[in-house]
């Protein structure tokens, strides 16, 4: 799964009850039911810090077998895709006039940029060997492969006027394909695909592309995906007792209202949650097994390491075992170890942290630079 949301990239939790999940707490820890590709969590090797750093020339689309793939734009405007060996810094393979997107299983999606359309393929990161997926009639501006069904790969791509998502096994044999106006970001849910733009969203079944829920007039509403549903919130709502939003199942049926008295903590790092977990408490980072690593209260985020450190205002990424956490302290983006000690400086406050196949990729919007951090362990 890729949260395009990531995302949208992940889902937020609502707290009806606040659990005291501190390092010295005697309360039993809740185990969350989480879903997601293993690449959504940081490699456990980050618990030992970072070893080397690599400057990427643009967007990083994948990392596997000591090779990372990025998208480069030259001074003349030409866009290319490169695979870089992290041991030597050498180019392993390159594609000119192409762009890339994330895909599961040591692969990246690549699209040619011809004048009459784009040829989309699925390429092996280590070798560059590619298999065709589909041909697009227009030039692709972004793409990703969300996952796989028994009928083929779930592919999302956007052109200047629309976003398309569908299941493809070969260029001339899609199981299904649908188009939406404008730019949308799609997320793989529990047997469904959720695609959201600034003012609209659609939920479809992954196997057949049947629409189960949609809203074409979101206005100020904000959508948060869950593994088995979604939440619509109105961040402008301020007068009690009016509800601030509602939780829905993937078929579009309302499950419950979200009242003014309920806190809305930040989105969690590392997973999509179920509706039941969303209503439970205030975790903002969980392990791959579903244990809370960090929670939030009125004083900020607390990391449940040995010393229950209080790292700052935003949990950005967590390792699969929970022994490393990337946070924005307000002064800088740092990597913390299990004892709450700082393991590495990742960038200035406000840097964007992406987890690509378990590796830390940090974009600094101030300098417009992207850095790949290799795990030390």
CB within 8 A of 368, min separation 6: which ones?
Answer: none
SS3 of residue 294 by DSSP = strand
Please name which of 322, 231, 313, 192 lies closest in space to residue 15, comparing C-alpha atoms.
231
**pTM score, whole prediction:** 0.82
pLDDT of residue 171: 72
* 224 vs 71: which has the higher pLDDT: 71
pLDDT of 130 above 70: yes
pLDDT for 206: 94
Q: Flag whether pLDDT at 179 surpasses 60.
A: yes
Q: pLDDT tens, 289-336?
A: 888 888 776 666 677 655 444 556 678 899 999 999 998 888 999 999
251 and 213 Cβ atoms separated by less than 8 Å: yes
Rounded-to-integer distance, Cα 334 and Cα 224, Å: 26
CA–CA separation, 120 and 135 (whole Å): 6
pLDDT in tens, 260-296: 655 545 556 767 888 888 766 677 788 888 888 887 7
The pLDDT tens digits for 14-37 are 221 122 222 233 344 678 888 777
Kind plus residue range of the DSSP H or E element containing 248: strand 245-249
Neighbour count for residue 329 (Cβ, 10 Å) = 17
Q: Quick: pLDDT tens for 99-128.
A: 999 999 899 999 999 888 899 999 999 999
State yes or no: pLDDT of 95 exceeds 70: yes
pLDDT confidence of residue 4: 24
User: Residue 181 — pLDDT band, cuts 50, 70, 90?
Assistant: confident
Greater confidence (365 vs 282) lies with: 365
pLDDT tens digits, one per residue of 207-255: 999 999 998 777 777 888 888 999 888 777 665 556 678 899 999 999 9
| pLDDT of the residue at 309 | 47
Rg of the chain (C-alpha set): 21
pLDDT of residue 372 exceeding 70, the answer is yes
Q: What percent of the chain clears pLDDT 70, i.e. is strictly above it? A: 82
Q: How far is CA 117 from CA 53, 79, 114, 135, 178, in A?
A: 36, 15, 5, 7, 18
| Rounded (10°) CA dihedral 250, 255, 261, 263 | -30
pLDDT attached to residue 18: 20
Contact predicate 333/346, CB 8 Å: yes
Contact criterion met (CB below 8 Å) for 156 and 163: yes
């Amino acid at each position: 799964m890729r949260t395009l949301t990531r995302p949208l990239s992940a889902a937020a939790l609502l707290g009806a009850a606040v659990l005291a999940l501190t390092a010295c707490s005697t309360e039993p820890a809740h185990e969350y039911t989480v879903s997601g590709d293993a690449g959504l969590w940081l490699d456990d090797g980050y618990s030992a810090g970072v070893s080397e750093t690599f400057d990427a020339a643009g967007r990083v689309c994948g990392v596997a077998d000591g090779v990372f793939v990025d998208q480069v734009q030259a001074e003349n405007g030409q866009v290319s895709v490169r695979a870089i060996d992290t041991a030597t810094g050498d180019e392993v393979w390159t594609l000119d006039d192409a762009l890339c997107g994330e895909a599961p299983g040591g692969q990246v999606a690549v699209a040619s940029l011809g004048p009459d359309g784009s040829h989309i393929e699925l390429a092996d990161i280590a070798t560059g060997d590619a298999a065709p997926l589909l041909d697009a009639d227009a030039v692709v501006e972004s793409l990703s492969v969300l996952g796989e069904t028994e009928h083929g790969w779930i592919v999302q791509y956007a052109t200047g006027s629309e976003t398309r998502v569908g299941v493809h096994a070969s260029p001339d044999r899609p199981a299904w394909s649908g188009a939406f106006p404008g730019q949308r970001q799609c997320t793989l849910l529990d047997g469904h695909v959720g695609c959201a733009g600034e003012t609209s969203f659609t939920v479809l079944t992954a196997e057949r592309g049947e629409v189960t829920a949609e809203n074409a007039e979101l206005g100020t509403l904000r959508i948060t995906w869950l593994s088995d549903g979604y939440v619509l919130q109105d961040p402008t709502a301020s007068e009690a007792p009016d509800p601030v939003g509602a939780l829905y199942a993937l078929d579009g049926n309302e499950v419950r209202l979200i009242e003014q008295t309920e806190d809305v903590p930040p989105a969690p790092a590392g997973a999509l949650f179920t509706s039941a977990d969303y209503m439970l408490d205030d975790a903002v980072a969980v392990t791959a097994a579903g244990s809370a690593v960090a929670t939030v209260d009125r004083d900020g985020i607390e990391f449940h390491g040995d010393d229950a450190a209080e790292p700052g205002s935003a949990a950005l990424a967590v390792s699969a075992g929970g022994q490393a956490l990337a946070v924005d302290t307000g002064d800088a983006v740092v990597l913390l170890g299990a004892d709450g000690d700082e393991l590495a400086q990742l960038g200035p406050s406000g840097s964007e942290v992406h987890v690509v196949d378990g590796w830390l990729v940090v974009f600094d919007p101030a300098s417009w630079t992207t850095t790949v951090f290799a795990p030390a362990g």
